Amino acid sequence: MTKKLYSPVLAALLLLGAATPWAAQAQTASSTAQAAPLYMALGEKSGITLLTDDFVNRLKTDARLAPAFKDANDKNLKLMLAQQFCKLSGGPCVYEGADMKSAHASMDITKTDFNALVEVLQASMDARGIPFTAQNQLLALLAPMHRDVITVK
């Protein structure tokens, strides 16, 4: 049996771009006790750092996405992703990067690109042994960002 990339609920969130109140609440580290278990499931700061290292390395070698990341500053990209994942998961981090709309405005990112990136992120989470439920939780927190990241309609 082939493992699904994400649950049907998450797929609906990605397709509909549901910005639900619970997703917005989870973005604030101190807003909910539910976020801390996700931070722990991701391996806390050290685990998130390893995850983002693996994720960026995979992005740079994925045939679909490598051209978009060939000139990226790997160190900065890994740092910004780690900060973002840490904050979203309820960790004690502060995200110091640009907002998603500004950061991606000139990149002409399609839904296909976005979905490929989600697949690569899941492969990285699988490689790190992150439980499937935690993977879905992180993806659900990231899903509403697609509105600001996808610039080609």
Q: What is the CATH number of the domain that holds 58?
A: 1.10.490.10
108-117 average pLDDT score: 90
Q: Is the pLDDT of residue 51 over 50?
A: yes
> If residue 38 lies in a helix (H) or strand (E), which one and from where to where?
helix 35-41
Structural domains of the chain, count: 1
Tokens of 34: 């539910």
Going by C-alpha positions, the residue among 128, 18, 114 that lies closest to residue 68 is 114
| Range of the structural domain that residue 70 is part of | 34-149
Residue with more model confidence, 151 or 23: 151
- pLDDT for 74-97, tens place per residue? 999 999 999 999 999 999 999 888
Helix axes 44-61, 74-88, angle to 10 degrees: 130
117-130 average pLDDT score: 97
14 occurs within a structural domain: no
Indicate the DSSP class of residue 145: G
116 occurs within a structural domain: yes
93 occurs within a structural domain: yes
